[in-house]
Each structure stands twice: as C-alpha cells, then as structure tokens.
Amino acid sequence: MTKLPEHRDETLGGYIVHGVPFPVETDPDALAFLKRMAPLQIEYPYQVTYLHSYGQDSPWFAGAANKHLLATQDPQSGYTYGTPRGHDMFSGAETRWIDITDRPAKVHAFTVCHFGSEEFLPETPFVLALIEFEDVNTLFLTRLMGVDPLAATLDWIGMPVAPRFLRNSKLKPTDVYFIPAKC
Amino acid sequence: MRPVYAVSGGVSKFAKARPDKTFQAIIKEAYDYAVTDLGLDFATFTRLVDGSVASYFSDHFARQLMAGIMAHDYLGLCPKPSHRVEGGGATGGICLQEAWKAIASGTMDICLAYGFETMSHVETWKGNEFIALASDISWDYPVGGFYSGYYAMMVTRHMKEFGTTVEQMASVSVKNHMNAYYNPYAQKRNRYTIADVRAAPMVAWPMTRLDICVMSDGAAATILASEEGLKRLEKAGAKVARPLVRMTGLGRGTDAMRLSDRPHLDYETFLRDYATEQEKASNETKAYYKKLWDHGTRYPGVHSFRAGRTAGNMAYKHAGVHDPLKEIDFVELHDAYTSSEIQTYEDMGLCRYGEGGPFAASGKAFMPGIDYGLKLPEKPECPVNPSGGLIACGHPVGATGLMQAVFAIWQLQSTIGKHFGDPTLQVKDAKRGAIHSHAGTGTYVSVSILEREG
C-alpha cells in the first residue's frame, strides 16, 4: 500500500497582525514575565537584480545561441576544457576557442533530482548529467532529456549522447542540453 | 611552532530552528558551556582570553554582514583581536586551524574558536538555493543548482566504477543515526533500518532523505591554549582536564570548484602525488590500483576528493601517523551525505580507493557495544562519527567542524559520559582522534589530529 503523507506542506506567510500582546503595566512582575515570552518573528522580503557578466566566457554563450558547442584549449599542450576556462590551469596560458558540437559524447555521471533549490523545484524530476567528450580532458554539466527520470539506471553511464540547443537562447548554460544519440 | 592544547569546548543544542535566541545568544550557550567546563566564570575567562576566530558560512542565511564581530561583541571580547574565516562546509575545521595558528605562532596564548549558522531563517528549498550558490553561478548553478544532486552524481560514478551499493550507503545512515541516539546534542535520534533508509523519499537518485544531513540552527565553541596560556588559566582557578589534549597534526587540501574541471590523472601521477605512505609501501596495493587504472579508473575524477586525500596525508605526516586505521582511535568526519562518508574513508586512507562501500558495511567503522540491528562481518576497529555525524547531529555549517572538535576533545578527555549523560559513545581508552571538515563538492578540506598526552 502506498505510504500516505503524514505532514502538510508548510509555507511562510499568514495574516498581518495589528497589536502585539504586552503587559498593560510594566511593573516588576510583568517585566519578569517577559523572559517567558515566545519570540516574535517577522518576514523580510529580499529581492535583488544582479548584472552578471560572463566576461571572457561570453563567446561560449554566443556560440550556444547559434547552435555551436564551444570548448577551450591550451594552445601548447592541447589540454581541452569541456567547460571553458579562459586560462589553462597548468600553464597559465590564455586558452583558445574550439568547436566541439559534433564530438562523440557520453554520460560520465548523472542523477535524477526529485527535489531541488527553490528556483528549480517546478522542474523536478529532472536529470543532471556530467558529459565527457572524445579528446576533451574535462566534463560539462548539463540536463539530460529523452530518458525516463522514474527509471534511472547506472546503465545510463557510458550512454552516447548528442547536444540539442534551445531555439530561443536564454544565454544560460542550459541553452544546450543532451539527449541519447541516435545509433 | 609551539604546542597547542585543546582545553575545553561547548555545543549548543542543534535544532531545526532556534527562534528563541539570536545567533549571538546561541553562540553564548556554547561559549558559556566551554568556560564553565573549565571551572571559570564568564568575567574571568573573558579577561584571560587573547582573542577569537569566528566561523560562519553564509551571509545569506543571517542576512547580516560582519556577524562575527557582533558575536565577539556580545561575548564581551571587544577590543581583543578577532577575524572571521569562511570556507563553505569546512569553515569550522578551518577556523579551528586558524586558532591553532594563533597559538602556535605565539600571537596568542588563549584563543576562542567559535562557529554558528542559523539556517532556519529561510525555507528549506531557499536554503538549498543559498547553498547551491557555492557552485559556479555561470556554469553550475543555472543548470539545476542543488548540492544533493552534485553529490548524487559523484556517487553514481563511484557505484559504476567500484560497485558501491545503496545498501552500503544506507548502513552509514543506520550507524550514524543509531550513534546519535545516545547523543543529547543531536538533532535526529532515531533507530532506522536499511529498508527505512531506502524507503525514505528520494531526493537525488539514488540518495534518499535519510542519506542526507539536515539544515540546522546551532553553535559550537572551543578553547585552545599554549603552555603559557595553560598556566594563566590555572592560575586563575581553571581546572584543565589532565591528561592534556594536544593538536598534533593539521592538513588542508583544495580542488576545483566545478566538478567538471577535476582532473583524471594517470596511475603514475596518482601514486607519486596522492597515494598514502602505506599504499606506496605495499606492492599488493600498487597492483590493486594498477588493475583499477587498467579498467579505466582515473584520479580523482568525480568519484574521489583529492582535497581530502591531500589534507589527510598532510595531517598524518605532521602527526606521525603511518597506518590511520590502526593508529587513530576514532574519526569525526563530514558525512553531509552517506556517500561522502564512504568517499572520505578512502580519502583518509581508512581503506583503499574503491573499497569504501564494503568498508562501510564491514563493521570496522561502528561503535562496539551498540546494537545496530545489522549483521556486521567484522569487529569495530576505528569508529567513524561516534557522535552521529552531520547526518544525525545536524549541520549548522559554521558550527559543524567545531562541533566535531568539541566531541573529539571530550572523547580524548574521556568525559563523554559526563557531557552526554551516558557513556555509551565513549571510545574506550581513546588516545588519538581525527576530525575532517569538508566544503563544496570537495573544494576545501581540513583534517586535524588531536591526541591525549601521556
């Protein structure tokens, strides 16, 4: 039998209270009683709009908006970053851009998020995956589509995948996602 | 460097929410306990202490910048020197080590290291969002920023490469919750079975809610002293427990913030730069690792924490530990996830890479004399998280590493019975303990060794 929930989901929020209980007279007994008072808690909304710059990584997002998956590469060693870095971690040299849109790729690791951070809760369950590319030294974090999140299996690791791009770019790393590659 | 002694500690009750007090007053609970346990009063100790180091992770949770000085002020420590450290989940461990530096360098003779977090000020899923901001906000967070998801990816790789099972992970949860049953400071004191762990709501496949620690409000404080500091404390009437507890080994390591950037090193590099002293000395272990590499294992990839291995190796060298499983009597390690406890067994050299799963279910990391309801094939050898760890005690981030230090001090003073009101979790004749504090996806890790003198 399915286990039924025993708790109601709770959220913040409620009524605005006018008038807080407090002794009418502040005699010593009344003031001493204040030590037994339950704490007052107030809500404090906090919203900020940041102007975030992708800096030297910006071309990657322009590439994804135009259906190209870019990576960066140390010009001397050829060490290649699936998630771009502006400078190589070994030589310190500035990296160059390369196009890996058509590179063979496969799932390196994955999970199915049944819960998540508040921003992503409406999208659960979703599949997060780290992708490895042929002749690329580091991985790329992405969403994996085209698999059943309720039928997760370790067999997904090693599965060939291919990139797909949003038609309308949001200029986020999720402009690209991956699906099982057609054999 | 001068010898540094850990003389006292205190922990507030960890709870889902502590709206009854502000963060300063919660810290004072832990501070007062540590001071009282020394046999001193607030005014006397406050006069003697030379300064403090503050530990808290997120300015977002408290929505308060410079919270450290507000706590230092509330404790009556102004104008003595103080600073705040921040290093994600390892903040508490780093704080302890910064206090050690203050004493070892001669800057201070008596130093307070305290930490807190008040995570209940936002709802759980907003809290998860705050924590996920400790991942690259250009590349990782927007894809579905969720730390449980990041750790679940690591463990699917660990399972695929090494055959680790969800039941082995669940045995960690059973152990730590059962240990916490005897720890009055713990947030969750429940007896679970492996079936319970697996039947709990799935959070990030394959990890359920009982594979994952909870958010908490809480604080912890420790007091460190030099030999000169000990004299000052005792001259003022302090009853410092004998034998003394000394911090003998410190190590720290780091790794790339983005999991995707972690290198995949070859066998020779692993052996040269990361193998433990014991692994390097064993031809059988070298052959074992060669076989793993021949089958495609690379290091650290996303299945292992080279920051943890680096910190462990550094601390062992400092303390003169050659065989951690045999030479350390207990470990309090950062089990934010059952999977990360298994990964950390391997990083800290309690077993070899790839053998963390069987080690978890073997019984070697369990406490003797406790009925866990499990069939354990081997006897306890080095109890891990005898306190219940983060999974059961809770994880008020800035306090956690210091909570581990306090429990380690009490273990080495043989005073668990006194502080817990129950001696069940006292590791018999504990002489040397290790505490392990871990941040991010393994980005900062600290390991500290504490030893009972004599």
pLDDT for the residue A125: 97
Nearest CA in chain B to A45: B122
Task: Report yes or no on A39 lying in a domain.
Answer: no
The pLDDT value recorded for residue A1 is 65
Q: Which of B123, B138, B144 sits opposite A54 (nearest CB)?
A: B138
Domain count, chain B: 1
* Domain extent for B228: 5-122+215-245
- Let me know if residue B97 belongs to a domain: yes
Residue A41 included in any domain: no
pLDDT at B94: 98
What is residue A183's predicted lDDT score, i.e. its pLDDT?
57
Looking at chain B from residue 260 to 299, which residues have their Cβ under 8 Å from any Cβ of chain A? 260-264
- Decide if B229 is inside a domain: yes
The parent domain of residue A139 ranges over 55-180
pLDDT tens digits, residue range A81-120? 999 999 999 999 999 999 999 999 999 999 999 999 999 9
Residue B57 falls inside a structural domain: yes
Banded pLDDT at A182 (limits 50, 70, 90): confident
Q: What is the pLDDT of residue B13?
A: 86
pLDDT by residue (tens digit) across B244-255?
999 999 999 999
- Residue A29, domain member (yes or no): no
Q: What is the CATH number of the domain that holds B228?
A: 3.40.47.10
Tokens, residue A89:
């971690």
Closest residue of chain B to A122, computed from CA coordinates? B144
By Cβ distance, the residue of A38, A114, A141 closest to B203 is A114
- Partner residue opposite B143 with nearest CB, options A39, A128, A158: A128
For residue B284, name the pLDDT band (cuts at 50, 70, 90).
very high
Kindly give the interhelix angle for B147-162 and B124-132, rounded to the nearest 10 degrees. Answer: 70
| Helix, strand or coil, per DSSP, at residue B133 | coil
- Work out how many CB contacts closer than 8 A connect A with B: 140
* Whole-number pLDDT of residue A8: 83
The whole-number average pLDDT for the span B179-198 is 96
Residue B56 domain flag: yes
Question: What local confidence, expressed as pLDDT, does residue A16 receive?
Answer: 78
Residue of A nearest to B122 (CA): A12
Residue A42 domain flag: no
Q: Are B446 and B436 in contact (CB under 8 A)?
A: yes
**Total number of domains constituting chain A:** 1
Residue B297 lies in a domain: no
Quote the percentage of chain B above a pLDDT of 70: 100
For residue A118, list chain B residues with Cβ-Cβ distance below 8 A: 123, 125-126, 128-129
Q: What are the residues whose beta carbons fall under 8 Å from the beta carbon of B136, sequence distance 6 or more? A: B257, B258
B163 touches chain A (CB under 8 A): no
What does the pLDDT look like over B417-452, one tens digit per residue? 999 999 999 999 999 999 999 999 999 999 999 999
Strand partners, B15: B217
Torsion of CA B27, B133, A47, A59, to 10 degrees: 160
Rounded mean pLDDT of chain B? 97
Residue B22 resides in a domain: yes
Among the listed residues B394, B340, B345, the one whose alpha carbon sits nearest the alpha carbon of residue B150: B340
Higher-pLDDT residue of B410, A16:
B410
Position A9 in a domain: no
In a domain, B440, yes or no: no
